[in-house]
């Protein structure tokens, strides 16, 4: 792949990551946690220009949940409030039994997409998110059985190797869709040259989505748009709008990246157009 071939590009797909599995309202009171809050946040993000909403579930006390019934409640709320947005469930997690990681795939109907972490990563001082090849394969197999498109989450250079390994072990429907993640710790160091290398190092024909954590969200989203990729923004990845100013919502972050896309001459894909691009 050469990133130069992407300069014309398809319309840009914007994903809104509404609420993560780690921080909550203690980090920003605008982070949605209940199904109703998430459903309304999804509708606002869709109206702002997001075609995909990336979802985590929470227990009533705000802690993360993998339970199918919690994801079901969120999906029902999203479908009540939003119009046609694509639902993408998270299967990533820390210190969770392998079986629990499958539960987000078992809603009715199943989500159109789900994240698939491509390898282990460190979280904080004493936690590691375990993503063995066997676990990745098992999650992929259930996604394939349910007609769910995997979003391959690539946190570092080694995870790009794992994308190639997965392609050798399993039959992935075209196009392969990989999220390139930049930030601190186990993530790829947030440098422009690392971004260009990551894009150029993906399998031929793969589509890439760009994710920068924290203060790196806007500059890396801009590079993703400029080089013909797709982008993810939202309160899961960045609770600030600018330094010292908490974001009002994921929709506010979507609105900003849509303005950037407009300035750079990239059309923003509707949910229907995004389904065509992704082969959903």
H/E segment holding residue 194: helix 192-200
Instruction: Say what percent of the chain tops pLDDT 90.
Output: 85
Find the DSSP H helices in 10-132. Answer: 35-48, 68-81, 98-102
CATH 3.20.20.70 fits 3-278, yes or no: yes
pTM, two decimal places: 0.95
pLDDT at 272: 98
Q: How far is CA 7 from CA 34, 40, 145, 151, 202, in A?
A: 40, 34, 35, 22, 16
pLDDT in tens, 233-269: 999 999 999 999 999 999 999 999 999 999 999 999 9
Beta strand 57-58 with 64-65 is antiparallel
Q: Whole-angstrom Cα distance, residue 1 to residue 18?
A: 31
The model's pLDDT over 102-147, given as tens digits with 9 standing for 90+, comes to 999 999 999 999 999 999 988 777 778 889 999 999 999 999 999 9
Specify whether the CB–CB gap between 211 and 14 falls below 8 A. no
The DSSP bridge partners found for residue 240 are: 246
Distances (CA, A) of 121 to 2, 110, 131, 165: 28, 27, 8, 18
Q: Find the farthest-apart pair of alpha carbons in the chain and give their distance in angstroms, rounded.
A: 47
């Amino acid at each position: 792949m050469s990133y130069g071939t992407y300069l014309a590009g398809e319309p840009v797909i914007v994903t809104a990551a509404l609420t993560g599995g780690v921080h909550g309202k203690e980090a920003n009171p605008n982070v949605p946690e209940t199904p109703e809050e998430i459903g309304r946040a999804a509708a606002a993000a869709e109206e702002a220009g997001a075609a995909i909403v990336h979802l985590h579930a929470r227990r009533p006390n705000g802690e993360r949940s993998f339970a199918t019934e919690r994801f079901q409640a969120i999906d029902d709320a999203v479908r009540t409030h939003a119009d046609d947005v694509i639902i993408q469930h998270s299967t990533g997690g820390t210190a969770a039994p392998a079986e629990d990681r499958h539960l987000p795939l078992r809603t009715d109907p199943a989500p159109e997409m789900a994240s698939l972490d491509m390898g282990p990563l460190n979280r904080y001082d004493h936690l590691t998110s375990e993503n063995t090849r066997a676990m990745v394969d098992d999650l992929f197999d259930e996604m394939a059985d349910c007609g769910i498109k995997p979003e391959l989450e690539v946190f570092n250079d080694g995870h790009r190797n794992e994308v190639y390994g997965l392609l050798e072990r399993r039959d992935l429907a075209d196009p392969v869709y990989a999220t390139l993640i930049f930030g601190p710790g186990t993530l790829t160091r947030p440098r422009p040259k690392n971004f260009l290398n990551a894009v150029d190092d993906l399998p031929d024909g793969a589509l890439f989505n760009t994710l920068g954590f924290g203060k790196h969200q806007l500059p890396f989203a801009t590079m993703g748009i400029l080089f013909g990729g797709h982008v993810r923004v939202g309160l899961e990845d960045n609770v600030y709008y600018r330094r010292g100013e908490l974001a009002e919502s994921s929709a506010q972050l979507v609105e900003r990246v849509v303005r950037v896309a407009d300035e750079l001459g990239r059309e923003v894909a509707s949910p229907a157009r995004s389904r065509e691009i992704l082969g959903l």
